[in-house]
Amino acid sequence: MSNPQATVIDIGEALTAKIQTVTGASAAVFDLVPDFGLAQVRDLKIIITPQAYARGNKGAASRETPDTTCKINIAIMKKCGSKADIPELLELTENIAKAIERQIIGNGLVLSVEFDPIYSMDIFQQMKVFISVCTANIKVIK
Protein backbone atom coordinates (compact mmCIF):
# COMPACT_ATOMS: atom_id res chain seq x y z
CA MET A 1 0.00 0.00 0.00
CA SER A 2 1.22 3.50 -0.72
CA ASN A 3 2.07 5.88 2.06
CA PRO A 4 -0.83 7.09 4.26
CA GLN A 5 -0.59 10.72 3.17
CA ALA A 6 -0.83 9.83 -0.52
CA THR A 7 -3.77 7.50 0.17
CA VAL A 8 -5.73 10.16 2.05
CA ILE A 9 -4.95 12.77 -0.58
CA ASP A 10 -5.96 10.46 -3.44
CA ILE A 11 -9.26 9.60 -1.76
CA GLY A 12 -9.88 13.25 -0.83
CA GLU A 13 -9.33 14.39 -4.41
CA ALA A 14 -11.59 11.63 -5.77
CA LEU A 15 -14.27 12.56 -3.22
CA THR A 16 -14.01 16.19 -4.29
CA ALA A 17 -14.52 15.24 -7.95
CA LYS A 18 -17.60 13.17 -7.02
CA ILE A 19 -19.08 16.03 -4.98
CA GLN A 20 -18.48 18.45 -7.86
CA THR A 21 -20.52 16.20 -10.17
CA VAL A 22 -23.33 15.92 -7.59
CA THR A 23 -23.56 19.62 -6.84
CA GLY A 24 -22.74 20.84 -10.33
CA ALA A 25 -20.66 23.43 -8.57
CA SER A 26 -16.99 24.25 -8.65
CA ALA A 27 -17.54 25.35 -5.05
CA ALA A 28 -16.12 21.99 -3.85
CA VAL A 29 -12.36 22.04 -3.27
CA PHE A 30 -9.91 19.69 -1.57
CA ASP A 31 -7.78 21.64 0.89
CA LEU A 32 -5.24 20.12 3.27
CA VAL A 33 -5.13 23.27 5.41
CA PRO A 34 -8.18 25.49 4.95
CA ASP A 35 -7.30 29.06 5.86
CA PHE A 36 -10.15 31.53 5.94
CA GLY A 37 -12.51 33.09 8.44
CA LEU A 38 -16.23 32.46 8.48
CA ALA A 39 -16.75 36.19 7.99
CA GLN A 40 -15.28 35.69 4.49
CA VAL A 41 -17.94 33.13 3.50
CA ARG A 42 -20.45 34.59 1.08
CA ASP A 43 -21.27 32.13 -1.69
CA LEU A 44 -21.54 28.36 -1.37
CA LYS A 45 -18.24 26.80 -0.26
CA ILE A 46 -17.62 23.08 0.09
CA ILE A 47 -14.27 22.25 1.65
CA ILE A 48 -13.03 18.65 1.70
CA THR A 49 -10.19 17.91 4.11
CA PRO A 50 -8.72 14.79 5.76
CA GLN A 51 -9.49 14.14 9.42
CA ALA A 52 -7.96 10.75 10.29
CA TYR A 53 -6.11 7.70 9.01
CA ALA A 54 -5.86 4.35 10.82
CA ARG A 55 -4.37 0.94 10.16
CA GLY A 56 -5.97 -1.86 12.14
CA ASN A 57 -4.04 -4.81 13.45
CA LYS A 58 -5.40 -8.29 12.72
CA GLY A 59 -2.82 -9.88 15.02
CA ALA A 60 0.56 -11.46 14.40
CA ALA A 61 -0.93 -14.89 13.64
CA SER A 62 -3.23 -13.54 10.94
CA ARG A 63 -2.13 -13.51 7.33
CA GLU A 64 -4.87 -11.06 6.42
CA THR A 65 -4.00 -7.54 5.44
CA PRO A 66 -4.84 -5.12 8.25
CA ASP A 67 -7.91 -2.92 7.75
CA THR A 68 -7.00 0.60 6.76
CA THR A 69 -9.55 3.37 7.17
CA CYS A 70 -9.66 7.10 6.83
CA LYS A 71 -12.09 9.87 7.63
CA ILE A 72 -12.61 12.80 5.30
CA ASN A 73 -14.55 15.89 6.39
CA ILE A 74 -16.85 17.75 4.03
CA ALA A 75 -17.74 21.23 5.27
CA ILE A 76 -20.65 22.91 3.52
CA MET A 77 -20.87 26.66 4.12
CA LYS A 78 -22.88 29.58 2.83
CA LYS A 79 -23.85 33.04 4.03
CA CYS A 80 -27.62 33.17 4.42
CA GLY A 81 -30.16 35.95 4.27
CA SER A 82 -32.46 34.27 6.77
CA LYS A 83 -33.33 30.96 8.38
CA ALA A 84 -35.58 30.30 5.37
CA ASP A 85 -32.36 29.36 3.47
CA ILE A 86 -31.57 26.47 5.84
CA PRO A 87 -33.89 23.76 4.37
CA GLU A 88 -32.34 24.10 0.90
CA LEU A 89 -28.82 23.79 2.34
CA LEU A 90 -29.83 20.79 4.46
CA GLU A 91 -31.19 19.18 1.30
CA LEU A 92 -27.85 19.81 -0.45
CA THR A 93 -26.03 18.26 2.51
CA GLU A 94 -28.28 15.19 2.40
CA ASN A 95 -27.88 14.87 -1.39
CA ILE A 96 -24.09 14.86 -1.03
CA ALA A 97 -24.31 12.16 1.65
CA LYS A 98 -26.66 10.01 -0.45
CA ALA A 99 -24.37 10.31 -3.47
CA ILE A 100 -21.27 9.06 -1.63
CA GLU A 101 -22.52 6.51 0.91
CA ARG A 102 -21.70 2.90 0.02
CA GLN A 103 -19.82 4.10 -3.08
CA ILE A 104 -16.31 3.33 -4.23
CA ILE A 105 -14.49 6.64 -4.33
CA GLY A 106 -10.94 6.41 -5.67
CA ASN A 107 -9.31 3.56 -3.77
CA GLY A 108 -11.81 3.70 -0.91
CA LEU A 109 -15.27 2.41 -0.07
CA VAL A 110 -17.47 4.85 1.86
CA LEU A 111 -18.80 2.81 4.79
CA SER A 112 -20.87 5.52 6.45
CA VAL A 113 -21.53 9.23 6.58
CA GLU A 114 -21.97 11.22 9.81
CA PHE A 115 -23.14 14.79 10.37
CA ASP A 116 -21.70 16.59 13.37
CA PRO A 117 -23.11 19.14 13.49
CA ILE A 118 -25.90 18.76 10.97
CA TYR A 119 -25.49 22.52 11.05
CA SER A 120 -24.19 24.92 13.67
CA MET A 121 -27.04 26.91 15.16
CA ASP A 122 -24.65 29.09 17.16
CA ILE A 123 -22.65 30.17 14.11
CA PHE A 124 -25.85 30.74 12.16
CA GLN A 125 -27.31 32.92 14.91
CA GLN A 126 -24.11 34.95 15.32
CA MET A 127 -22.97 35.30 11.70
CA LYS A 128 -25.84 34.08 9.50
CA VAL A 129 -23.46 31.47 8.06
CA PHE A 130 -24.76 27.95 7.50
CA ILE A 131 -22.07 25.38 8.23
CA SER A 132 -22.59 21.64 8.17
CA VAL A 133 -19.79 19.12 8.66
CA CYS A 134 -20.20 15.70 7.10
CA THR A 135 -17.60 13.01 7.83
CA ALA A 136 -17.16 10.19 5.34
CA ASN A 137 -15.82 7.02 7.00
CA ILE A 138 -13.88 5.19 4.32
CA LYS A 139 -12.28 1.75 4.11
CA VAL A 140 -9.16 1.82 1.96
CA ILE A 141 -9.25 -0.85 -0.72
CA LYS A 142 -6.59 -1.90 -3.22
The architecture (CATH level 2) of 4-140 comes to 2-Layer Sandwich (3.30)
| List of residues 6+ apart from 27 with CB closer than 8 A | 43, 44, 45, 46
* pLDDT given for residue 129 in this prediction: 96
pLDDT digits (tens, 9 = 90+) for 2-50: 566 678 999 999 999 999 988 876 789 999 998 888 888 999 999 999 9
Q: Is 119 helix (H, G, I), strand (E, B) or coil?
A: coil
Alpha helical stretches, state H, the chain: 4-23, 86-100, 121-127
Q: Is 6 helix (H, G, I), strand (E, B) or coil?
A: helix
pLDDT digits (tens, 9 = 90+) for 53-103: 888 765 555 566 678 999 999 999 999 999 999 999 999 999 999 999 999
| List of residues 6+ apart from 41 with CB closer than 8 A | 77, 78, 79, 129, 131
Instruction: Give this prediction's pTM.
Output: 0.87
Give the CA distances from residue 125 to residues 4, 90, 119, 128, in Å, rounded to whole numbers and listed in that order. Answer: 39, 16, 11, 6
Q: Is 120 helix (H, G, I), strand (E, B) or coil?
A: coil
| List of residues 6+ apart from 131 with CB closer than 8 A | 38, 41, 75, 76, 77, 117, 119, 120, 123, 124
